[in-house]
């Protein structure tokens, strides 16, 4: 294995800023769409059941692409992977928005499939780059990168609320938003760590998983249990992202503007917890913090789903706890999967696939349930996965580096 020249601290710090930026842009694109779902639903004239099916179809792209994300990153590098699949993400959203405004369900669904492919692989690649930069920095920063995602969602939710109030058509709003975010991605990835330097501080290559190691990671018990922790957190987050605004509009009889603002409160709570999370994790450790998050998420979800429909203020307080509870499971899972840089690409691919299966496929299934019991009560089904994730949270404890017969290289 060839020794790589060292990367100075400024280069690593620039890469850290770039990772935060692409996380924020991913959240921005997602929230641009999610916050306008009431208008999308109305434009397509869909019931709750049909909206769930539409989002489920859109999830198909991510579910197909995610298991191969580790191989893609290994072959072309994190920077190129983020760039290519971010553009797919934007193209899919633009197509879905045009379809929604035109009342064309098939076109909207096709756009969401493309969006799903772009979203899933983009997410895996930026998480892997984030794990590498975190190892180079030598301190916990992954929750702050995911806070970047939340910053993007808060910004987009605010813009969406203004767009809804001004009756801006969905396709106009979405096209402008994803065009700007795509330009920003092109600029940001130029500061990723250069190809060949995607290594841990001791010089071992983190992205260098081969085909065999990528798929063998599916047989590792610890990796699968980390996947369950991430699954619970992803479903808790995804349910709020997809349905909270509609639950406020339909469950409490409020306007689209209030729905978008309530969604903004939810993601703002997630953002705050992700910024606080780095200090909490360094002080108390992964397991204790994840237990706290599970408890907050469970209480918040129950409050939001069970309070009377005349008490929106209390439901919003529940949404705050819910958002804080959903905040750290995904980033901590990515860090845990990356404990050994030699296996990081394979394990991040597995954990991302499990997490995004819940994030993308779970909420649409809740939409099918909402057809019978309403949005707010359908969301209570998320309590089950939260409890399961709580039972296996010990899997996220830091793992010792696996022994290897490869020589250690110090850059």
> Which one is predicted more confidently, 236 or 372?
236
What are the φ and ψ backbone dihedral angles of 328, each rounded to 5 degrees? -110, -15
Residue 153 CA to residue 268 CA, distance in Å, equals 8
Per-residue model confidence (pLDDT) at position 141: 86
Residue 61 in contact with residue 117, Cβ under 8 Å?
yes
Tokens coding 389: 């994730």
Per-residue model confidence (pLDDT) at position 208: 43
Q: Residue 182 — pLDDT band, cuts 50, 70, 90?
A: very high
What average pLDDT is seen over the chain? 82
Residue 185 in contact with residue 82, Cβ under 8 Å?
yes
What residue ranges do the domains of the chain occupy? 9-396
CB count in 10 Å sphere of residue 88: 21
Tokens coding 297: 């998420």
Lowest mean pLDDT among 5-14, 291-300, 371-380: 5-14
Q: Residue 170 — pLDDT band, cuts 50, 70, 90?
A: confident
Residue 410 CA to residue 304 CA, distance in Å, equals 52
Rg (CA), the chain: 20
Helix (H, G, I), strand (E, B) or coil at 77: coil
pLDDT of residue 48 exceeding 90, the answer is: no
Per-residue model confidence (pLDDT) at position 314: 92
Q: Residue 209 — pLDDT band, cuts 50, 70, 90?
A: very low
In the CATH scheme, what architecture does the domain 9-396 have?
Answer: Up-down Bundle (1.20)
Helix (H, G, I), strand (E, B) or coil at 329: helix
Per-residue model confidence (pLDDT) at position 203: 41
Residue 47 CA to residue 188 CA, distance in Å, equals 39
pLDDT digits (tens, 9 = 90+) for 306-324: 888 888 889 999 999 999 9
Percent of the chain with pLDDT over 70: 89
Residue 31 CA to residue 23 CA, distance in Å, equals 12
pLDDT of residue 332 exceeding 80, the answer is: yes
Q: Residue 404 — pLDDT band, cuts 50, 70, 90?
A: very low
Per-residue model confidence (pLDDT) at position 202: 43
pLDDT digits (tens, 9 = 90+) for 112-162: 999 989 988 898 889 888 888 887 887 878 888 988 887 898 889 888 888
What are the φ and ψ backbone dihedral angles of 244, each rounded to 5 degrees? -60, -45
Give the C-alpha distances (Å, rounded to integers) separating 385 from 92, 151, 164, 236, 410.
30, 26, 33, 8, 42
Which DSSP string do the residues of 85-100 spell out, in sequence order? Answer: HHHHHHHHHHHHHHHH
Residue 27 CA to residue 150 CA, distance in Å, equals 6
């Amino acid at each position: 294995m060839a020794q790589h020249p060292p990367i100075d601290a400024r280069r690593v710090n620039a890469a850290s800023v770039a990772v935060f930026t692409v996380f924020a842009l991913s959240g921005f694109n997602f929230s641009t769409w999610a916050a306008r779902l009431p208008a999308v639903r109305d434009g397509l004239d869909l019931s709750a059941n049909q909206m769930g099916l539409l989002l489920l179809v859109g999830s198909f792209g991510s579910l197909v692409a995610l298991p191969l994300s580790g191989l893609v990153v290994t072959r072309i590098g994190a920077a190129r992977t983020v760039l290519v699949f971010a553009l797919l993400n934007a193209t899919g959203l633009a197509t879905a928005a045009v379809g929604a405004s035109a009342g064309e369900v098939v076109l909207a669904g096709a756009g969401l499939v493309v969006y799903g492919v772009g979203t899933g692989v983009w997410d895996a690649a930026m998480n892997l780059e984030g794990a590498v930069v975190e190892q180079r920095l030598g301190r916990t920063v992954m929750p702050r990168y995911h806070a970047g995602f939340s910053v993007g969602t808060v910004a987009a939710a605010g813009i969406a609320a203004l767009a809804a109030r001004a009756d801006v058509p969905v396709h106009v709003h979405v096209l402008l938003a994803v065009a700007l975010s795509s330009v920003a991605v092109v600029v940001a990835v130029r500061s990723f760590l250069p190809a060949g330097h995607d290594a841990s501080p001791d010089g071992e290559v983190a992205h260098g998983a081969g085909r065999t190691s990528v798929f063998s990671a599916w047989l590792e018990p610890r990796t699968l249990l980390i996947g369950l922790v991430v699954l619970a957190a992803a479903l808790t987050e995804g349910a709020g992202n997809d349905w909270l605004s509609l639950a406020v509009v339909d469950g409490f009889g409020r306007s689209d503007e209030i729905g978008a603002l309530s969604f903004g409160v939810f993601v703002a709570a997630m953002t705050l917890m992700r910024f606080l999370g780095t200090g909490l994790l360094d002080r108390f450790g992964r397991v204790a913090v994840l237990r706290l998050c599970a408890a907050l998420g469970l209480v918040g979800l129950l409050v939001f789903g069970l309070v009377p429909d005349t008490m929106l203020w209390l439901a919003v307080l529940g949404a705050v706890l819910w958002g804080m509870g959903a905040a750290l499971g995904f980033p901590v899972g990515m860090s845990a999967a990356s404990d050994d840089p030699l296996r990081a690409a394979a394990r991040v691919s597995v954990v991302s696939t499990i997490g995004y299966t819940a994030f993308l496929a779970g909420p649409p299934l809740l939409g099918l349930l909402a057809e019978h019991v309403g949005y707010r009560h359908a969301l209570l089904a998320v309590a089950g996965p939260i409890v399961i994730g709580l039972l296996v949270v010990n899997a996220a404890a830091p793992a010792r580096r696996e022994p290897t017969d490869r020589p250690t290289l110090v850059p």
